[in-house]
Chains A and B, each alone.
Chain A
Amino acid sequence: MTADYLDAHQRHWDDAERLRGTERWANADHLYGIATECGLKRLMLAFGMTFDVSKGMPAEGKDREHANGIWARYESYRSGHPQGAAYALPAVNPFADWHVSQRYAPQAAFDRTRVEKHRRGAESVSLLVKQAHLEGVI
């Protein structure tokens, strides 16, 4: 299957929202992180990231990051692109305490406070994706 970061961003965001609505905190938290990663990778493509079609992933190893690592990678693409000025994210990475391996963690480790922080981060990415869509950047 080929990667479609935009579609993946939207479906992970939608599902995260549904899980949050039923207080399924652990998987909502996981999906907010994945939605963020996909959204930022779509924007990074617009701002110059190269993509290895044969492998279906970013060409540069350092761009193959999850939400906790991709925040800084996004900034380096955004700040080097003329259209990037209008696409800044909050300077502090809300996913610094998020890790993809937390999908193995017990549900009791997740609560509303943690999820709301990650949701705000994912929402800021979602708004940038929407803006890029409307402006014709993606």
Chain B
Amino acid sequence: MTTFDQILPRVVESLRPHAASLAGIDRIVINRDLNGKVRLIIPEQVRTDTAIKAVIASIAEELTRRLGAHAFPAAQGVLFEEDLQAITHGRPCLPLESFRNVWIIDRLATEGDWATITPVVKGSPRLVFFSIKGGVGRSTALAASSWALAQSGKRILVLDLDLESPGLSSALLPEERRPAYGIADWLVEDLVDNGDAVFDDLIATSTLAHDGEIYVAPAHGRNPGEYVAKLGRVWMSKPAPDGSREPWSGRLRRLIDAMEARLQPDLILIDSRAGIDEVASCCITDLGARLVLLFAVDGEQTWTGYRLLFRHWRQAGVAREIRERLQLVGAMIPDDERRAAHFEGLRERAWDTFAGDLYDEIPAGEVGGEYWNFEEFDEGAPHYPWAIRWNRGFASLLSLHTRFAAIDPAEVDAVFGPLIRGLLNALPGLGEDHG
């Protein structure tokens, strides 16, 4: 009985004995469809070559036998296509192990594949706050960062993209200042070209900023309305009149670009959904983020989650495009005598996780200078946690607005200092005051 994870190893086993015969074919695609069933796609030109055709037929039979429920009957298992580039265009295509000319294309039911990395956008830097688990203080840390940066005169735009569990805006806006609409409303209206109807009432300014400004775009408005019905539609891609389509992440990017053009913020802070989720994929890989903060509490669930993600990036061949934007944040570090030991444990496991899949291996006998590799104790390394201490006063988002309204800056510094200093260091130019 073949199950999903055995598909690719068995495809390799089926192809390997025929590697020499296949070597002359320019490109072969292994198409794994939405249901996880596999077909071979072969260039049309090969169809006239009787010898190769016989090899392909034999491979198709082999795949039917080895893949079981994940294969088609041999007669339906091969498609001949004139233009293989068109089939793979715009979709992540991974090379199959040692085969120079065999590629895998995966058809997913979700748009987010985590492996198409948008380059860092020009303009206001975009920072994403992400965690594998919820409830680790990620949104609170974002609220504190926006408060601290606004205190130094910066204009901060905060986006609540934790659409399925919204709440960040309550930390930054008192009830009466919340805007009429939220990001989910715009995404739904945009489907019918009606985004302008809500755009002007999508953002509120927080009263917490004194010298700078905190603009907040919540997930939903003052009255959430039929939020569940809207949420089920925000992921829609949008067809253009010519039949092409804009993925939902493209629509979201268009919204953020429009907000940026209107408000000219110094920095955009994005609260992402937790976990390996469709929205999180969009926030981390599609919005052109300058920096992605990976919140971690020291537990198996966290490290397993990050390892899955890092491995996916490595296997998809995109780790280099994303890894320099990542920074680990140690969340909920105990504020008592356990602190030092806890931090060391966190750092050690963070290093293991980063070194295993993201850092370059340094070949024996070579020096590390040319490789992207960091020692466990290197304070400037992406795995080295920016530590946030657990603090009872900041543990509830609900009361945060009241809390920030009468806050002692020294207290914010004591809890969030490493995070805020880290942000200022990571974004040169941000620490300089206006004019």
Interface residues of A (CB under 8 A from B): 83, 85-86, 88-92, 124, 133-137
How many residues on chain B are close to A (CB under 8 Å)? 18
B109 contacts the other chain (Cβ, under 8 Å)? Answer: yes
CB neighbours (8 Å) of A91 from chain B are: 239, 241
Partner of A85, one of B41, B107, B237, B241: B237
| Contact B237–A136 (Cβ < 8 Å) | no
Question: How distant is the Cα of A91 from the Cα of B193 in the complex, in angstroms?
Answer: 14
Given the interface pairs A85-B237, A86-B237, A88-B239, the reply to whether A136 lies near B107 with Cβ below 8 Å is: yes
Smallest CB gap from A90: residue in B:
B243
Q: Are B243 and A135 in contact (CB under 8 A)?
A: no
The interface residues of chain B lying within 8 Å CB-to-CB of A136 are 33-35, 37, 107
CB-defined contacts of B243 to chain A, threshold 8 Å: 88-90, 124
Please report B residues at the A interface, Cβ cutoff 8 Å.
31, 33-35, 37, 39, 41, 79, 87, 107, 109, 236-237, 239, 241-243, 245
Residues from chain A with a CB closer than 8 A to the CB of B245 are: 85-86, 88
Cα A86 to Cα B248 with chains together (Å): 11
Measured in the bound complex, the distance between the Cα atoms of B240 and A124 in whole Å is 14
- Which of the residues B33, B41, B236, B239 comes within 8 Å of A135, measured between beta carbons? B33
Ordered by A's residue number, 18 sampled pairs between the chains whose C-beta atoms are within 8 Å are A83-B109, A85-B237, A85-B239, A88-B239, A88-B243, A88-B245, A89-B243, A90-B241, A90-B243, A91-B239, A91-B241, A92-B241, A124-B243, A134-B33, A134-B87, A135-B34, A136-B33, A137-B34
Which of A85, A89, A134 is within 8 Å of B31, CB to CB? A134
| Additional pairs, 15, CB under 8 Å, beyond known A134-B31, A134-B41, A134-B107 | A83-B34, A85-B237, A86-B237, A88-B243, A88-B245, A90-B243, A91-B241, A92-B241, A124-B243, A133-B79, A134-B33, A134-B79, A135-B107, A136-B34, A136-B35
